[in-house]
């Protein structure tokens, strides 16, 4: 999942990261234009690898701290 999200985020010119969480979930922090973020989320839900059981979406102002999109852990 992490590498597919990484590829999709780079195709969308998003910045941020994707990482595994110890409890088995995946966390994605992404910054970009609102429309592009919505398309990214829809693509993950529709075409993402494996079964995506639930997506919890939390919106907050962009921090600008990311210069690219990376895979962590």
What are the φ/ψ torsions at residue 39 (nearest 5 degrees)?
Answer: -65, -40
Decide if 68 is catalytic.
no
Q: Which is catalytic among the residues 10, 20, 25, 57?
A: 20
Q: Which is catalytic among the residues 2, 27, 35, 72?
A: 2
Decide if 2 is catalytic.
yes
Alpha helices in 12-73, H assignment, sequence order: 34-47
Positions marked catalytic: 2, 20
């Amino acid at each position: 999942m992490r590498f597919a999200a990484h590829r999709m985020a780079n195709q969308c010119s998003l910045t941020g990261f994707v990482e595994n969480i110890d409890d088995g979930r995946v966390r994605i922090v992404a910054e970009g234009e609102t429309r592009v973020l919505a398309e990214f989320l829809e693509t993950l839900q529709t075409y993402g690898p494996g079964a995506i059981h639930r997506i919890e979406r939390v919106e907050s102002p962009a921090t600008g701290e990311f210069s690219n999109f990376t895979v962590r852990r």
